[in-house]
């Protein structure tokens, strides 16, 4: 799947079954079909020796909590290290402005605001290097809270007390366009009023407000009706950063030769369509980078018993 195809999938298109494979990929697929007994034995061995240490999840939670609490303590202690909130801040003098927030403000004002443009440049370079949607899983406070509530949803589904309802993934692209149009037409940043990311960030720093009621309603909806609905089908922040992340050298990479196709990675993934490549017979090359809609959360890496998924820096791995 090429870069353009990966962006189409991020915007809502369904992953297409590949028709062309590299010679290396063809050879590995053929070996797995021919040596089925050995393949199943290796799969069982990998499962028996799997380590469930949640290494990357724990690291991610630590970074996310540290980042958000740094805002809080900087404000409470008045040390002016990290001022503002996630939507717009200043870190030791450097202006940092959320890309989606800056876009909404400029659309509402109907012109390019130079100060906002300068502030977004730093953020753009940062997330272009680290991977755009890594903001979602490594920084966004709503992502963490929704991840905790997701555990409750899965328990209720397991007990058959609720069922999960999916929406078309293209809904998020439609929401991105609608929020942009509302800002342009109304002159008001409608999304910023509804964004649980901004609401939780400001609540952590300045104290709770009635807007937390909206966040609670979203979480209840996700628990009883649709798993991670806001992040999957509505939030334009993920789409904005996903476009930036398309050029990032840091990504999760899939190694076909190590994969036993258990499917555990897709079960834990917030955006399982990016892992379509792990389905048996889908990988077009020996090593395949996961698409830009990936949040780089590391859950798939933690759960994979055979090391088929790992973090990779484009061009660097071949030099090591």
Which of 193, 226, 243 finishes a domain? Answer: 243
Task: Please check whether residues 170 and 29 belong to one and the same domain.
Answer: no
Q: Are residues 273 and 201 in the same domain?
A: no
The CA distances from residue 214 to 25, 82, 150, 186, 233, in Å, are 48, 27, 17, 22, 17
Please report the pLDDT score of residue 319 as a whole number.
Answer: 42
Q: What is the pLDDT of residue 237?
A: 94
- Give the residue ranges of the chain where pLDDT is below 70: 1, 36-52, 317-320
Query: Based on the domain organization, do 264 and 291 belong to the same domain?
Result: yes
In angstroms, rounded to a whole number, what is the distance separating the alpha carbons of residues 178 and 184? 10
Answer yes or no: do 237 and 116 share one domain: yes
pTM value is: 0.91
Are 144 and 215 members of one domain?
yes
The predicted structure's pLDDT at residue 302: 94
Q: What was the pLDDT predicted at 320?
A: 40
Shared domain for 193 and 85, answered yes or no, is yes
CA distances to 11, 133, 149, 166, 222 from 226, rounded to whole Å, are 20, 21, 12, 6, 5
Question: Based on the structure, what is the number of domains in the chain?
Answer: 2
Question: Quick one: 216 and 260 in the same domain?
Answer: no
Same domain, 117 and 231: yes
Last residue within a domain, chosen from 189, 212, 243 = 243
Same domain, 309 and 171: no
| DSSP H or E run through 192 | helix 190-194
In the listed set 213, 243, 273, which residue is the last one of a domain according to the structure? 243
185 and 261 belong to one structural domain: no
Specify whether 64 is located in the same domain as 179. yes
Give the model's pLDDT for residue 79. 82
pLDDT value of position 62:
97
Q: Which domain holds residue 297?
A: 3-49+250-319
234 and 276: one domain? no
């Amino acid at each position: 799947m090429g870069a353009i195809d990966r962006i189409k999938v991020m915007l809502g298109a369904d992953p297409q079954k590949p028709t062309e494979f590299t010679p290396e990929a063809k050879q590995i697929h053929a070996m797995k079909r021919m040596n089925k007994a050995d393949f199943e034995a290796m799969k069982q061995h990998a499962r028996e020796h799997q380590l469930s240490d949640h290494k990357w999840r724990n690291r991610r939670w630590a970074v996310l909590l540290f980042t958000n609490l740094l805002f809080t303590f900087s404000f409470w202690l008045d040390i002016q290290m990290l001022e503002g909130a996630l939507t717009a801040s200043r870190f030791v003098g450097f202006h940092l402005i959320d890309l989606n927030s800056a876009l909404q403000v400029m659309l509402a004002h109907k012109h390019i605001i130079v100060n906002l443009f300068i502030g977004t440049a730093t953020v753009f370079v940062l997330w272009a290097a680290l991977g755009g949607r890594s903001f979602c899983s490594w920084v966004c406070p709503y992502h963490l809270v929704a991840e905790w509530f997701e555990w409750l949803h899965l328990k209720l589904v397991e007990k058959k007390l609720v069922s999960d309802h999916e929406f078309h993934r293209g809904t998020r692209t439609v929401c991105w366009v609608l929020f942009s149009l509302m800002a342009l037409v109304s002159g008001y940043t409608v999304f910023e009023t509804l964004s649980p990311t901004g609401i939780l960030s400001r609540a952590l720093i300045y104290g709770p407000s009635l807007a937390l009621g909206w966040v609670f309603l979203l979480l209840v909806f996700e628990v009883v009706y649709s798993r991670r609905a806001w992040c999957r089908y509505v939030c334009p922040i993920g789409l904005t950063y996903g476009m930036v992340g398309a050029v990032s050298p840091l990504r999760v990479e899939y190694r076909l030769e190590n994969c036993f196709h258990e499917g555990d990675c897709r079960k834990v993934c917030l955006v399982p369509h990016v892992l379509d490549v792990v389905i048996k017979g889908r990988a077009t090359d020996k090593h395949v980078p996961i698409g830009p809609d990936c949040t780089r959360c590391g859950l798939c890496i933690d759960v994979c018993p055979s090391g088929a998924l790992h973090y990779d820096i484009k061009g660097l791995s071949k030099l090591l």
